[in-house]
Amino acid sequence: MRLRGSALVMTLYLLFLLIPIYWLVNMSLKTNTEITSTFTLFPNDLTFRNYAVILTDPSWYMGYVNSIIYVVMNTVISITVALPAAYAFSRYSFMGDKHLFFWLLTNRMAPPAVFALPFFQLYSSVGLFDTHIAVALAHCLFNVPLAVWILEGFMRGVPKEIDETAYIDGYSFGHFFLKIFTPLIASGIGVAAFFCFMFSWVELLLSRTLTSVNAKPIAATMTRTVSASGMDWGVLAAAGVLTIIPGALVIYFVRNYIAKGFALGRV
Amino acid sequence: MDKTQNNKAWFLVLPVLVIVAFSAIIPLMTVVNYSVNDTFGDNQFFWAGLEWFEEMVTSDRLHEALGRQILFSAIILAIEVPLGIYIALNMPKKGFWASVCLVLMALPLLIPFNVVGTIWQIFGRVDIGLLGHYLAELGIDYNYTNDPLDAWITVIVMDVWHWTSLVALLCYAGLQSIPNAYYQAARVDQASRWAVFRYIELPKMAGVLLIAVLLRFMDSFMIYTEPFVVTGGGPGNSTTFLSIDLVKMAIGQFDLGPAAAFSIMYFLVILLVSWVFYTVMTNLDKEEGK
């Protein structure tokens, strides 16, 4: 009896989650006339024109390419710098460590809106404006602290005896870190990478402020569909659907670790 | 875990320090600089002292935005936390269906913020949206572009849709870590469902729940894109939250001084609340370590 109740609750909740997405997909497969003139639960006149518009126009699909470039750059940078730092936080106590850790976290808590304008000026003055690396660096603001936080949680779970044994066996620090330690927390690295990917992928405010043409992310390109001739709803919906796909793919790969990752490795 | 005292660990932290300093301290100093200066363009600055701060502290605009922001965050937490716990309790424990639930629940979290806005903007429209259409058929006068209350409801439902899964996933992770022996002991003691929840599940979830509340508080307090896309802060100013107001001020009107003063106070509020959460969290960690 209880089991059936749970299933009902979950079904209702998942329906609540999926119906708006279904509506988006539904709209992306309709023509604009059908969208605005009639109300249909399924496309009467199935069309892939909206997707064709996006996939053939460079100013559209380059948005995806740009987004993916800076997201990947950001993920690589974040994980590379966060790994040694997380190790330091999980293994050693050093002068000012607690304050430093909290200071890092405050950057995750800082509203991007506060940083939008200074970032714009900083990156303009050093000539990085409208480049992928600018957005990647800007996203480090919140992704590096998050990566440190998650990795530290996972590293805590690795017994310290492993480090000590390795040192006794004559491993150098670098060798030990790459050959022994990194494989042990591989799942943690995967989860941290996933989160960096996710937060960089979904962020719009900073990426839009820091780009104009060459590195414009897809999320900013989407605002283009509002034109003088009215909204191009079909293309907008299709672009939306295409932004969901990379996320869905990534989730599938980390599904078994996702809950632990959200708990920042602290379960 | 006992940690070794070693100040050389600073070298390991150095790369993080450099990169975060570049992307946090320099911009933050720029903000501080603006907040105490006045400018007429051309990079000429005049010392303005605390004038902007005084202006902001007494401005009705800021008070109203702050009021709306607190109300919004409070409503969000009041809905998402209990709902998230409830969902987590009802999730299948393992097997195929657990994976299906996990993947589907994580889906909204991976959608870019403005697409979330777009989805709900379309979904709620009376002319072309499923929700708006059926509400209109039921005879409910719903229009989020005109009516402040409808706009609020739309923004809140959207946030619940977007983020409840985060709370649920966290609680689910917490629940998974409870050994089966606890439940068996409860069964032997003939504990009620409520007692099991209150004395076994809730304490075990406390740590992750705190993270959930912390994340949801921070993120809802700096929400920008989703309401901006759906309502643009309107109708009127009814859904203009702090970030929206700030961006309007800084980039829309280019009032650098007031906007910078605003930013700093905004940041300090978040910092204060986060510090409280963080202290509680580290204390919890220590207790568990014992």
Does residue A267 lie within any of the structural domains?
no
Q: Are residues A219 and A192 in the same domain?
A: yes
The nearest alpha carbon in chain B to A257 belongs to B173
Mean per-residue pLDDT for A181-188? 85
In a domain, A109, yes or no: yes
- Identify the band that residue B85 occupies on the pLDDT scale cut at 50, 70 and 90: very high
Domain with A82, as residue range(s), is 57-224+236-262
pLDDT score recorded for residue B79: 93
Q: In this complex, do A95 and B176 lie within 8 Å of one another by their Cβ atoms?
A: no
Mean pLDDT of B148-170: 88
Please give the average per-residue pLDDT across A69-79, as a whole number. Answer: 93
What the block records as the tokens of A49 is 């024109």
B290 has a pLDDT exceeding 50: no
Same domain for A76 and A199, yes or no, is yes
pLDDT exceeds cutoff 60 at A252: yes
Which residue carries 């777009």 as its tokens? Answer: B118
Mean pLDDT of chain A: 82
Look at chain B and count its residues: 290
Distance CA(A234)–CA(B236), nearest Å, equals: 29
Q: Which of A116, A113, A136, A112 is nearest to A215 (CA)?
A: A136
Residue of B20, B72, B253 to mutate, interface with A, max A Cβ within 10 Å: B20
- Selected residue with higher pLDDT from B278 and B120: B120
A264 pLDDT more than 70: no
> What tens digit of pLDDT does each residue of B19-42 get?
888 878 888 887 887 777 776 655
Q: What share of chain A has pLDDT > 90, as a percent? A: 7
Q: Are strands A230-231 and A226-227 parallel, antiparallel or unpaired?
A: antiparallel
User: Domain tally for chain A?
Assistant: 2
Under 8 Å between Cβ of B208 and B190: no
By percentage, how much of chain B surpasses pLDDT 90? Answer: 9
The verdict on a CB contact (< 8 Å) between B270 and A111 is yes
DSSP annotation of A30 reads S
Q: Outline where chain A has alpha helix (H).
A: 2-28, 32-37, 49-56, 58-91, 97-109, 112-125, 132-156, 160-168, 173-176, 182-184, 186-202, 205-209, 218-221, 233-254, 258-262
* Higher-confidence position of B67 and A38: B67
Chain B CB within 8 Å of residue A16 CB: yes
Contact B13 A84 (CB under 8 A): yes
DSSP summary character for residue B47: E
Residues A139 and A179 in one domain: yes
Which of A141-155, B167-181, B196-210, B229-243 shows the lowest mean pLDDT across its residues? B229-243
Q: Based on the domain organization, do A90 and A149 belong to the same domain?
A: yes
Q: Is the pLDDT of residue A1 over 50?
A: no
| pLDDT tens figures, B237-264 | 777 888 888 777 776 666 777 778 888 8
Nearest to A185 by CA among A156, A148, A143: A156
**pLDDT for A228 beyond 60:** no
The CATH number of the domain where A173 resides is what? 1.10.3720.10
CA distances from B233 to A116, A134, A202 (A): 18, 28, 20
Angle at A200 between CA A197 and CA A201, to 5 degrees: 80
Number of C-beta neighbours around residue B158 at 10 A: 25
Spans of all domains in chain B: 60-289
* pTM for the whole structure: 0.83
Claim to verify: residue A144 and residue A246 sit in the same structural domain: yes
* Chain B residues with CB-CB distance to A92 below 8 A: 3-6, 8-9
| A contact residues 186-245, partner B, Cβ 8 Å cutoff | 198, 201-205, 209, 218-219, 222-223, 233, 236-237, 240, 243-244
Write the pLDDT tens digit of every residue in A191-215.
Answer: 888 888 888 888 888 888 888 777 7
- Interface check for A175 against chain B (CB to CB < 8 A): the answer is no
Same domain, A115 and A4: no
Residues A141 and A258 in one domain: yes
For B60-289, CATH number out of 1.20.1070.10, 1.10.3720.10, 3.40.630.30, 1.20.1090.10 equals 1.10.3720.10
Q: Do A94 and B1 touch (CB under 8 A)?
A: no
User: Are A34 and A77 members of one domain?
Assistant: no
Query: Same domain, yes or no, for A114 and A196?
Result: yes
User: In this structure, are A116 and A211 located in the same domain?
Assistant: yes
Alpha-carbon distances of A21 from A124, B168, B184, rounded to whole Å = 38, 20, 41
Q: Of B237, B94, B249, B69, which is closest to residue B159 (Cα–Cα)?
A: B69
